[in-house]
Amino acid sequence: MDDTDVHPLLFAYMERREDLLRYFRVRLRSEEAAEDLVQDIYLKIVDRRDEAIDNPTAYLYRLGTNLMLDRIKVRRRAEARDAQWHGAHVSDVGGAQIAEEAPADEAAAAKLQLSRILEAVKALPPAAQEAFRLHKLEGLSHSETAAAMGVSRSSIEKYMMASLRLIVAKVGRWP
């Protein structure tokens, strides 16, 4: 295969590949990023063999510059999105950064634990279920739960003790 068999754009790429690497290495300040970019240039032009390009070298540099600018825009958008998320979900406490959300594995485990607890509660008598719902899930005190249900505080305490015993027996320790 001689030079006349190669499309002018591919020929210009092969001839200028090292120059393209040097050019983008300086602009990107990274050998790896320049290599990736020059490889992307090749991938873009390999399918354009049937297109006529007046100045293949200038086309390669323009294509590379456009790809570089696109990458910079994508990176900046991702950094802005990450910074916005970080500002909304992370607190600085005594110099340590604390995420305000549980890690995904902990959240999934907690969800599973809650569904097991709720399933165990379904085995309770209706009054005990109601006491559990009001006290543990809605956050009412024993006195408030007793008033809402029209029973004594002592009854609520007994319902809660029975609920917790059943939960521990069926699910394991209470969180």
Task: List the helix and strand counts (H, then E) for the chain.
Answer: 7, 2
**Residues in a beta bridge with 98:** 91
Distance CA 91, CA 74 (A): 26
> Per residue in 15-65, pLDDT tens?
999 999 999 999 999 999 999 999 999 999 987 767 788 899 999 999 999
Q: What is the dihedral of CA 143, 149, 150, 152, to 10 degrees?
A: -40
Angle at 141 between CA 139 and CA 147, to 5 degrees: 115
Q: Give the CA distances from residue 81 to residues 68, 73, 74, 75, in Å, rounded to whole numbers and listed in that order.
A: 20, 12, 10, 10
Cβ pair 142, 135 in contact under 8 A? yes
SS3 98: strand
Phi and psi, residue 157, nearest 5°: -60, -40
> Per residue in 79-126, pLDDT tens?
998 888 777 777 766 667 666 666 788 878 888 888 888 888 899 999
DSSP class of residue 137 equals I
Give residue 156's pLDDT.
93
Angle at 36 between CA 32 and CA 38, to 5 degrees: 115
